[in-house]
Structures are given as C-alpha cells and as structure tokens.
Structure 1
C-alpha cells in the first residue's frame, strides 16, 4: 500500500489548498511511503558545508532526499568527495552517501527545490555583526535558482536579517520577486558539535516562513528529517530572535557564575562547593564557571545588542554579561601567575603546558577558542607556553596560537599545567605520576575543576581553579 502526502503550494496564498506534488516549478513536496521505505521527490541544496551545513546535508540524504552540497572552498569539496569528514563528527560512510553530490560549481544550485543557506555570521573587530557571507550567498543563490525555489536561511542573525538582507540579495540577483516567484523561510541551526545525543534528528527545530503556506511547507520538510519535531514560529523575525536569545541567556547565566567565582575567591570561599550546595534547591539552575568560546555563545549576544541599539534601547545586562565572560582569560592567566609565584618560580624562566586548546571538550575546533586569549595574556609576562590537544590539528594550532605544540604528551621540564579544555582523555591522568615528571613544586591550574583540590594537593600540586 502506498500513501502520498502532498504539501500545499506556498505560492498560492489566497486560502485555496492545491493538492499538487512539488516539482521544480511548483512548491510542495511529495512523500511516498511504501512499507518502511520513504522516497523524496524534492532535491535539497545545502549552501555552506561547515559544522552546520554538512550534518544537515547528511541528514537529508539519510532521509532519502537527493542532496546537492555546495561550498566555495575547493579543498573542502575535494575532501568530502574523497569521503573525508571535515568536521570530525560524522562517519566516512555518512559522508560518502550516494544521495549527496558535493560541488563548488554554483551552477548546480539550480537543481535545488529547497536551498538551505548555512554560511558563517561572525562579528567584526568592533563586535558588530558581519552579514557579508549571508549577502554574498544570497547573490550566488539568486543568480542560479529557478522560479518556485524555496530558500531557507539557517545562519544565526538578528531579527529582520532574512527580509532586510537576504531577500533583497536574492531578488537583485534573480530578477524574481519573493512571495511570488520564489519563497523564503528561516530555521535557526541548533547544531552541537561533539554531542552525538543532540544531532539534527534529536533537537526540536524552530521553523518559519514568509506566509502560512510557506511555513507549512518548510515545517513538513524538516519534520521529515527531525524526529523530535518542529516548532512553528509565528514569523521569521520571531524565529531569528529565538536563536540569539537562546545563547544570550546562556551567556548571561555563565557570566553570573564566572563573576561569582571571582568574588568568592576573594572571600576565600570555594565557589564549586557553593554551587553544589545551592544546587540542592529544586529550581536552582546549574551553570559552572569557565571560558566561553565557540561560534554561538560569545557571538550571538552581540547580534541581539546590535539590533536592539538600532531601536534606541541598550541591553545593559546582555552587554555586561559579555564583558564579564571576556575578562575570564585574563583572570585565568592571573591565577596561573599566582600559582607560579606560590612555587617561587621566576616567570620568564617558567614553562607552562596548556592541556586542551579547542573551544569545548570532545572537538578539535580551535576557531573562537578563548584559550588563545589565555596564552596571549601569559605571553605578556614572558612565560614560555606550549600546548597539547588530542583533537586539534597541530599546524592549525601553531598558526592560530603562536605557540609550540606537542605531538605526544610530555611533562618534562614543565613548571605548571593549565588544564584549559577538559577533554575526557585528561580525566584519566594520574596526578601523582604527572607531578613526579614536573619540576619541583609543580602547579595545576584546573580551569573547570576536573580534579578535586584535595587529590591535587596530595599529589604535591599547588592548585588553582575558577
């Protein structure tokens, strides 16, 4: 028995429900269920094959869609065509799915019934949103897409970006009109690198569209690949805002415990013990102090602040939270200097080994890692710093951090160990063995408190943590 589910044509916004399957010039999608086999007639083109786009392309391919994976980086495309995972989160089998065609040929974008844009949205040196990638992607897609295409932006942006930046770029490059000749939606990415339990299929997807029929079309598309289901936002701007609010909330909460740890340190009170005690109350939220790096939490609050300031309102709490978290690398460097002083070490003759250089445990991504800021702060004191990370690429680390890196872990000649990114591999270290390999009176700066202070002290370390 075969059941065909057909979406409404999103071009028809007059209240009529046309039950026609989508082809390259209409606007629905046909899902044919034959037993356990699901065939997808629509082609999905993913523009940008990074940590967001590549898992998305793989997810659609695994749900039996034909997928075009487009990226302007020829090296990235060459690796993917060879079955090499450029993110470290996927299997070679998933990358080599026959339903994905990787290309740097923009002409193939025209084959997409749905074009999903997942390009970076960084901030510039003045902490202002850089939307140049979104605008350029819009022009590239617009110059190639066919009438009837639905374009969905997943990049993190401030409210209004899709309609103020992306749509004009698409229209200018295509000579088509949004809402008549092509259709636009927004669905914020919720990728979590290094977390296999929260992949594309496992996290509720927020979706939106420029009208009700586009919304339903986009919702049906994502429902076919996201087992957790979708949340239909009432407007594109609501969906855009939801993303920056998610991470601004986390940033403010982490800033609170970071500031708390600094205050309690001066009172000679153990911040971790305080949080453990406070956490016994049922409605206490469990956040821990630490470095705030990556591509989302340290960036998204600036998008919210920028858009708010345009309307004449300064979100002081959001901005203060950012300032607190940006001060943490300097504080960690200060803890390291104090520990070396406690050991009566001469700073310019001291060697510090930084364990973990990526922005979060379990991944090798060093972009936007705040560990680099800690290294820079220590360099101001002429401390000799070297690093080791079991996940990060050594050449990339040397270029980004300007420090010597170890190919294999060695503590010989080291005065202090700074455990910055607590990869699970470091939890297995025997502190007594490590202390025996270090110089006299070794120091351990355990940023997130991976080890108990008593255990470190018994091993002979001078111990510091946030």
Structure 2
C-alpha cells in the first residue's frame, strides 16, 4: 500500500511544523480528511489553539474548536508522522539578507525525528536552491539517512493571502514539486485531498522555488510603479486614484494601487531573489529599484503630513497625530514587517509621538515586536492630524462626523487628514474644508 493510501486510510499521519498564518489553515484543512499533528514551538500559541482560539483569525475560533488536529509542542510527536509539511517564516535580516534560521531550525528538528520512507515538504518562501542545498543536507545529517533512498523531499510554495476570505488554500492552484517522479506523484495526490482548485506539477524543486519568489516580486515592482506615479501626480496636483480609475477602463490595464508594502511576503521575497542573484554575480536593477521606492514610502508620507501641518499653522513639534491602523494589511491581525512602523519612526524624528489605534491588529505582537501600545479608537480625540494607514472595514465605516470628533475643535482647514489607502471620499472631506491628502 502506498503512503498516499495509508494517509488517506488514516494508517499514517501528516505533521504540520509551524502553526501560523500559513500552517494553521493547512492543518485544519487536512484534518477534515486525514490524521494531523500540528506542531509549533510557541507554547502560548498551542495553548490558545487547544482552547479553541485562533489568534491568526485565518480559520476562525469555531473551526479551531471543531478540528481534530492534535496540537503539540513536543517534537517527539513528529515521529508518528510520515508526511511532514514545514511552514515556518523566512524573514530578512536588518541588512535585507535572507534569515534562514527558522527553516534551518525546523529542518534540524524534523531530521531528528524523521523515520524511514517519510516525505518532507517545505512551504516556506526561499530562493531557488535552498531546499536542495541547505535543507536536505540538514535532514540527512540529523537523521543519519540518505535523501532519495531513505526519505524523499518536496517543495510546495504557500499561496495563503492573510485576511482574504475568497482566495483560500482550497481555491488556489497548488504548486507542487519533488526530488523525483515518485515523490512528486505522492505529494500531488496528498495535496489534491484538500485543494479543490487542483495542483500544478512543477518541473523541479528549483522551478517551484523560483515561481514563488517571483510572484511577490512582480507585485512589488508594480506597486512601486504606482507609488512613483503617485509622487509624480502629487507634484502635478493630479489625484492618483482618479487617474488609475480612468486608466483602468482599458481591458488590459493592470489594476495596482499605491501604498505601503509590508508583510512577510511582498516586502521580503524580492530580497531573497536579489540575494541569490548577487551570489551569482548579477546586481538586480529593476527589482531593487522597486524595493527602494517602496521602502521609502513611510518617509514620503510623513513629509506630506508635516507640510500639511505647516500649511494649517500647526506647530510640528509635539503635534497631536493619530495613526489608524498598524497591521501590514486590511482586516488582518498580522503586524509582521508592517511599514506603518516606518511612519511612526519618521514622526519621532520631527518630535511627534503619535497615538496608534488598531482594533484588528495583534496588540501583544505589536508591543513585543515594536514596543507599540495601542490606544482605543474611542480614545482618539483632540488631534491635529489623523493618518489612516490601513484600510480596515472598521475605518471605512467611520463617518465624517466620527472623524470630526477625533480632531481638536476649530476650523476644518486646520484639520489634517492623511488617507494613505484612499478609502475615504476625497470630495466630501475637501468640500468640508479638511486638509485632505492621499497617495
């Protein structure tokens, strides 16, 4: 009987290593079909899952309560599984070089607990070559076994879009790859158990790794182009959103928008590709140019906020500024690599300590990672400027009267409203006399 059949018949188990925004949806999806061990090094996170609480908000508390996933922090439980999916973060260091420590650590742990004839599939985003040149040697060294003989390895890049309730694991075509035809077939059939959209069998592991890393690099470059257009059009006193709406009437116009580019994918993945290119003697031009533009948008936004404060005759130092939103994207609790922190740090350079409110973001994570303590939205008042940084639904629903309550009393021309995501009606606020600005 094949490994696929044994897993399908619940005679063998699947393990998910890393229960974050990627790993948790995978674990819950597979647990509807097969036996799953869900492992994470965070005791706090595992305890929350055991209590039926989903801190990621990706699958929801009800799904966590109902799932049959066996949550654990005991790595020895991995010995009970024959099919391992590694879904740990792959961030970048301060100098923008890849930080492979999480995936290397996970490889060592899986290797220590690897049994004969198992398959290990990596989902973490990496540059081409990491799986075969870094992860496999670690697995072999830790297990004392030989890849291709005693165990097999594959790569299936995650395509989770945090906060997106439409494009989910089940509805996105899953790219799969393996070190040989046999492992590829097994990996494909196992993922087909949960991915309704089907799988795409990549020609090799490196092809799958490369496909993943360029998906987000492409988006990064396109958003950088939109950000550059926004800078140009603001100088021309043309509304960028209006231009994009008009251009978007053409059937083949790509509908990207300007904004802050953070998170653990778009703002990170391009550096993995350019790092590998540098190792091979090629210095990226387009990719790194896009990164420079996007990394500088926090400073650009603050420059325009300060200019508007000056126009409003508001002293810049110690100005009362509130930031609405700290997560890296709308309707999502994830604050990893949020570019809103760039705005916070830039404001401090002007002597401004902003108040920050985000009812969606993970408050504990924000405090632990950035030292940021959120204010309640209802406590935002007596402000000189409001900066809407994230397009949460909660913020979209705030009325003009609601925003007015957040400002100091006085003439609207002294009230600076910065709308990075363009979620508000520009005409309404400008007609009311606000100093409104957006990308």
1:41–1:65 contact (8 Å) kept in structure 2: no
The answer to whether the aligner puts 1:391 opposite 2:360 as a matched pair is yes
The answer to whether the aligner puts 1:423 opposite 2:392 as a matched pair is yes
The answer to whether the aligner puts 1:249 opposite 2:218 as a matched pair is yes
The answer to whether the aligner puts 1:61 opposite 2:28 as a matched pair is no
2:7–2:35 contact (8 Å) kept in structure 1: no
1:385–1:403 contact (8 Å) kept in structure 2: no
1:432–1:460 contact (8 Å) kept in structure 2: no
User: Which secondary structure state, in structure 1, belongs to the residue aligned with residue 166 of structure 2?
Assistant: helix
- 1:335 to partner: Cα distance: 1.3
Give per-residue Cα distances to partners, 1:36-73, cap 9 Å, x unaligned.
Answer: xxx544310001111111111101002x2100011111
1:418–1:444 contact (8 Å) kept in structure 2: yes
Aligned positions of 1:81-160 closer than 5 A: 81-97=50-66, 99-160=68-129
CA-based RMSD of the aligned residues comes to 1.5
- Count matched residues: 435
Aligned positions of 1:307-456 closer than 5 A: 307-403=276-372, 405-435=374-404, 437-439=406-408, 440=410, 441-456=414-429
- 1:74 to partner: Cα distance: 1.5
- 1:208 to partner: Cα distance: 0.2
For the residues of structure 1 that align with 2:49 and 2:301, how far apart are their CA atoms? Answer: 39
Q: TM-score, normalization: structure 2?
A: 0.96
> Which residue is equivalent to 1:279?
248
- 1:411 to partner: Cα distance: 3.8
> Which residue is equivalent to 2:21?
51
Q: TM-score, normalization: structure 1?
A: 0.90
Give per-residue Cα distances to partners, 1:112-164, cap 9 Å, x unaligned.
Answer: 11011111111111111111111111111111111000000000000011000
For the residues of structure 1 that align with 2:384 and 2:392, how far apart are their CA atoms? Answer: 21
1:65–1:99 contact (8 Å) kept in structure 2: no
User: Which secondary structure state, in structure 2, belongs to the residue aligned with residue 264 of structure 1?
Assistant: helix
- 1:395 to partner: Cα distance: 4.3
The answer to whether the aligner puts 1:461 opposite 2:434 as a matched pair is yes
For the residues of structure 1 that align with 2:346 and 2:294, how far apart are their CA atoms? Answer: 15
2:7–2:14 contact (8 Å) kept in structure 1: no
For the residues of structure 2 that align with 1:54 and 1:433, how far apart are their CA atoms? Answer: 37
For the residues of structure 2 that align with 1:186 and 1:401, how far apart are their CA atoms? Answer: 32
Query: Please, which of 164, 183, 192 is the counterpart of residue 161 of structure 2?
Result: 192
> Which residue is equivalent to 1:217?
186
User: Which secondary structure state, in structure 2, belongs to the residue aligned with residue 301 of structure 1?
Assistant: helix
User: Which secondary structure state, in structure 2, belongs to the residue aligned with residue 69 of structure 1?
Assistant: strand
Which deviates the most, 79-88 or 199-208?
79-88
Give per-residue Cα distances to partners, 1:208-266, cap 9 Å, x unaligned.
Answer: 00011111110000011100000000000000001100000000000001011101111
Query: Please, which of 219, 229, 239 is the counterpart of residue 260 of structure 1?
Result: 229
For the residues of structure 1 that align with 2:367 and 2:432, how far apart are their CA atoms? Answer: 31
For the residues of structure 2 that align with 1:429 and 1:94, how far apart are their CA atoms? Answer: 30
For the residues of structure 2 that align with 1:76 and 1:336, how far apart are their CA atoms? Answer: 38
Query: Please, which of 127, 133, 152 is the counterpart of residue 164 of structure 1?
Result: 133
- Structure number with greater Rg is 1
Gaps in structure 1 of 5+ consecutive residues: 1-20, 33-38
- 1:403 to partner: Cα distance: 5.0
- 1:312 to partner: Cα distance: 1.4
**CA 1:196–1:41 in 2, change beyond 3 Å: closer, same or farther?**
farther
For the residues of structure 1 that align with 2:379 and 2:349, how far apart are their CA atoms? Answer: 24
- 1:461 to partner: Cα distance: 1.0
- 1:375 to partner: Cα distance: 0.8
